[in-house]
Amino acid sequence: MARVQPEPGGDWVHLGRLGFRSTQRVRIGDIPGGVAVATWPAELKPQAFYLYGGGLGSALMAAATERGWTVEPSPHLAYHTAPGARRLYMRPSIAPLDYAACWEDEDALRRVGNHTREDVERELWPWLKQKGFADDGDDIELRRFLDESLRRRPAHMRPGLRLRRVWTSAEGTELGSALAQTIRSEFDAVFATAHEPTLSSAEIVGQGRCVDCGSRERLEFDHIIPISKGGSNTARNIELRCEACNHRKSASV
């Protein structure tokens, strides 16, 4: 059954300035029992055309699954600037590689983007049901979306994905200070299949500036409470400092 769901809350890092073309944002945050990294490829039309039109979606999903990421198809209807609670998310029971193959088809890809309300009702929604992304029981959710959220706006068909990777507390303890580099390396390995640039570690925490002086030069990950003094390998206990400020802090701890 499709259902309207909000996007998870949190702080996002926008990847466009790094040259990413398949996904716009990444989030790292603490969860009960560990740290999670999440990203949402193919949410917007240019991302979808790059990923599926270039035949890269299948390779991305295969790499993510192989490396222990959870890959969840997330097709949805929205309007421009729609908050999560105003979108119609579908949760189809379809394997990720089958989902990618669907959108890599030229007939499916042409449906990504803007539709009038009338087009949604007459053509797009029946097609989504035919593909198994929705069913007759979801018609009431479509009607609610059209009447309460969309109204007379154009609807955007978004063939999105949800990618998520969790490192447990035990894994974080074992990795120690290498946790941040491991997260970056795993993200890079998955998105290399989509010919994306590497993710700068400086973009994961603090938006790439030293928390003390604001410098973007010679940045290092720093544990707020050192591991030796009982600090944890969680996102809340990691921040960025430049080399000079990090040395000053270490000398004072």
Structurally, the chain folds into a number of domains equal to: 2
One domain, residues 244 and 124: no
One domain, residues 33 and 128: yes
Digit-coded pLDDT (tens) for 106-151: 999 999 999 999 999 999 999 999 999 999 999 999 999 999 999 9
**What ranges make up the beta strands (E) of the chain?**
13-14, 23-31, 34-41, 70-78, 88-89, 113-115, 155-168, 219-223, 238-242
CA–CA separation, 31 and 107 (whole Å): 40
The answer to whether the beta carbons of residues 28 and 37 sit under 8 Å apart is: yes
Percent of the chain residues past pLDDT 90, beyond the cut: 62
Digit-coded pLDDT (tens) for 192-242: 999 998 875 444 444 456 778 877 566 566 667 766 666 665 555 666 677
One domain, residues 154 and 60: yes
The answer to whether the beta carbons of residues 3 and 92 sit under 8 Å apart is: no
The answer to whether the beta carbons of residues 4 and 76 sit under 8 Å apart is: no
pLDDT the model gives residue 227: 62
One domain, residues 142 and 17: yes
H/E run at residue 119: helix 117-119
State which residues form the domain around 21: 13-163
What is the token pair recorded at 170?
């035990």
Nearest to 100 by CA among 160, 57, 39: 57
- Residue 6 maps to a domain: no
Domain end, chosen from 163, 191, 221, is at 163
Q: Read off the CATH number of the domain in which 232 is found.
A: 1.10.30.50
Flag whether pLDDT at 243 surpasses 50: yes
pLDDT the model gives residue 201: 44
One domain, residues 64 and 148: yes
- Residue 126 maps to a domain: yes
What is the token pair recorded at 106?
């030229």
pLDDT the model gives residue 190: 97
One domain, residues 22 and 92: yes
CA–CA separation, 131 and 244 (whole Å): 57
Domain end, chosen from 129, 163, 197, is at 163
One domain, residues 224 and 145: no
Length of the chain, please? 253
pLDDT the model gives residue 238: 67
Digit-coded pLDDT (tens) for 34-85: 999 999 999 999 999 999 999 999 999 999 999 999 999 999 999 999 999 9
CA–CA separation, 23 and 21 (whole Å): 6
Domain end, chosen from 163, 195, 216, is at 163
One domain, residues 210 and 136: no
One domain, residues 135 and 19: yes
Q: What are the residues facing 15 on neighbouring strands?
A: none
